[in-house]
Amino acid sequence: MLIIATSKHDIIKWVDEKMPELSAWHQVIFDYGETAWREYKSCAWYVDRLRAEGFEVEVGSGGMPTAFCAVWKNGEGPTIGGYAEYDAVPGNCQAADTIERPRDGLNVHAGGHTDPHSALGISALAGFLAAKTQMQLHDIKGTLKFLGEPAEKVRGSKPIHAAKGYYDDLDAAISFHPFYMLPLCNTTRWNTHCGVGYAMIYTFECDSPETWLPQSGAPDSPIAASHASARAPGANDALVHMYSTTKSLKEHLVGTGCGWSMNECILTTGQATADNLPARIAQIQYIIRVPTIEMADSITSALDNNAKAAATISHCSWQRDWVSKSRHGLANHALAQATYNNFELVGAPVFNDGPARVKAREIQSNLGLEPMDKPFMAATEQLIPPQDAEVILRKELPDWQVHFTSDDYTEFCWHAPTVRLYVARPTLASPRSEYRYPAWAMNALGGIAETIDPMIRCASKIIACTVVDLLVDTDLLAEATREFKERTGGGVNGTQWQGPLCDYEPPIGFRWPEYVTTVRGEEYR
């Protein structure tokens, strides 16, 4: 295995030398701050970069305009998958600065990176490019398959990519996410993977307001839209009924403290200027995060009943459109351990020394706090073995619950052995137990080069080293594959395999928030 040791040494050196360029790449994606299904500039940047690196790239993969599938091949060998996410979050437009302010030319309601997906994507990209250099140098055979996965915040693209066959040829996959939830800091997931996620949009439409009774106004008037007449209830009324009914219902459905959640957001469709006419259309989106498919189906049935009732009493029709139906995760101990071994080789990111500490202390000072000598959480610079993290995580869960929280990387798990890697993002230590930092500070740390670069550096190295392991260490890949087949009852289409749940087309036609250019200039709405 001399080639593996040599390659890993070279990978570490390559990433260290490449960091100024990787940092600049990250700043581009962070500043774009494009939100779900509308990541046009971010997707184009990745496509151009990957093509420049020699990848063949399909744009708009799976029928999603801001998705892509990039492939680089060096002879016959295993196919290793990875991906970038690059969607930001509405209402979190924070500059890469130590004070609270939006990015230049925007307001706070525009999109911004919170997790941050900007660093997730660049870390994964750098890891695959670093592995590619070793494949070329040592003629390591195999294929790198790197996907662009938009709209993760609504769990958008991965169920669609999975259902349309983009993961079918993978021999293994690497999923990375910046840490944000203890004890999953600087480790890999072991047994308890993420659960099921459903997202749907309910549309209420008042398509015949003139048939609503009673109507007031002059009996000989040919129209019922008089400003002095009572208008039909309409779509907004249906939405309010749906919202309030489901708010009451979800206390009984998901209020047991077992890691279940259901959250909603109201989509806007204009209609703000007519006071005497009912809103003709209104939409509300729900996202359900639960341990099992059966729970998700049960809650969906209850939501359907609420929608039907709300429409009936509001003189509307209704329909449900899927945004996402994603499966729960599947463990792979062989790959989780191998990836963690590379974590031990690379070491945890270092935040409390050097320029990162300076920026963190500036934020604390600007918040009126006494700057701390070590401003970052100790856990961000410590490794925790996945088995130990599992023990801590299980303390918070009932014995029956085998999946916890939600993320759509789980789609990869059913098509190939998959590891879920967590590397600490810069996270400030609280000066006292009751203190909570404002959200802008966390978002800023994900954009400031001095604070986010240590995570990018660390994650890139681990991902690249794991790719090389999977390509060269035939025993590792064989064991990961054996375990995958065991857990699925024979692999894809096995007796315990869960097929894709996606039975819908990409939901790209809704009024998702986006940047638009008008005669007034560029706006976010």
Judged by DSSP in three states, 273 sits in coil
pLDDT over 60 (residue 216): no
**pLDDT score, position 21:** 98
Least confident of 148-152, 308-312, 326-330, 358-362: 308-312
**pLDDT score, position 348:** 97
Q: Which two tokens stand for residue 177?
A: 């996410």
pLDDT classification of 189: cutoffs 50, 70, 90: very high
pLDDT over 80 (residue 202): yes
Residue 363 · residue 445 · CB < 8 Å: yes
Average pLDDT, the chain: 92
**Percent of residues, the chain, with pLDDT higher than 90:** 77
Q: List, for residues 164-182, the tens digit of each pLDDT value.
A: 999 999 999 999 999 978 9
**pLDDT score, position 232:** 77
pLDDT classification of 254: cutoffs 50, 70, 90: low
**pLDDT score, position 309:** 93
Distance between CA atoms of residues 431 and 56, nearest Å: 50
**pLDDT score, position 257:** 54
pLDDT: which is higher, 244 or 377: 377
pLDDT over 60 (residue 4): yes
* Protein fold of 198-211+228-327: Alpha-Beta Plaits (3.30.70)
**pLDDT score, position 150:** 98
* Burial label, 134 (beta-carbon count in 10 A; 0-12, 13-18, 19+): buried
pLDDT: which is higher, 505 or 266: 505
pLDDT over 60 (residue 507): yes
pLDDT over 90 (residue 468): yes
Angle between the N-to-C axes of helices 449-472 and 117-138, in degrees from 0 to 180, rounded to the nearest 10? 40
pLDDT: which is higher, 201 or 269: 201
Max mean pLDDT range (52-66, 101-115, 193-207) = 52-66
For the chain, the domains span 2-191+331-351+378-488, 198-211+228-327
Distance between CA atoms of residues 112 and 49, nearest Å: 22
CA distances from 197 to 88, 90, 261, 479 (A): 19, 20, 10, 29
46-78: burial string, b at 16+ Cβ within 10 Å, e else: bbebbeebebebebebbebbbbbbbbbbeeebb
**pLDDT score, position 213:** 64
The residue among 283, 426, 438 whose CA lies nearest residue 357 is 426
Angle between the N-to-C axes of helices 386-394 and 333-346, in degrees from 0 to 180, rounded to the nearest 10? 120
The residue among 408, 512, 505 whose CA lies nearest residue 36 is 512
pLDDT over 60 (residue 217): no
**pLDDT score, position 269:** 64
**pLDDT score, position 448:** 98
**pLDDT score, position 261:** 79
Max mean pLDDT range (23-27, 255-259, 491-495) = 23-27
Q: Which two tokens stand for residue 153?
A: 């915040």
Residue 161 · residue 95 · CB < 8 Å: no
Least confident of 265-269, 366-370, 468-472: 265-269
**pLDDT score, position 354:** 87
* Protein fold of 2-191+331-351+378-488: Aminopeptidase (3.40.630)
**pLDDT score, position 253:** 62
Least confident of 140-154, 242-256, 407-421, 450-464: 242-256
**pLDDT score, position 18:** 98
Distance between CA atoms of residues 412 and 118, nearest Å: 20
pLDDT classification of 286: cutoffs 50, 70, 90: very high
Least confident of 65-79, 220-234, 302-316, 453-467: 220-234
**pLDDT score, position 223:** 54
pLDDT over 80 (residue 288): yes
Q: List, for residues 332-344, the tens digit of each pLDDT value.
A: 999 999 999 999 9
Q: Which two tokens stand for residue 183?
A: 């004890």
**pLDDT score, position 55:** 98
Q: Which two tokens stand for residue 30?
A: 């962070």
Q: List, for residues 401-410, the tens digit of each pLDDT value.
A: 999 888 999 9
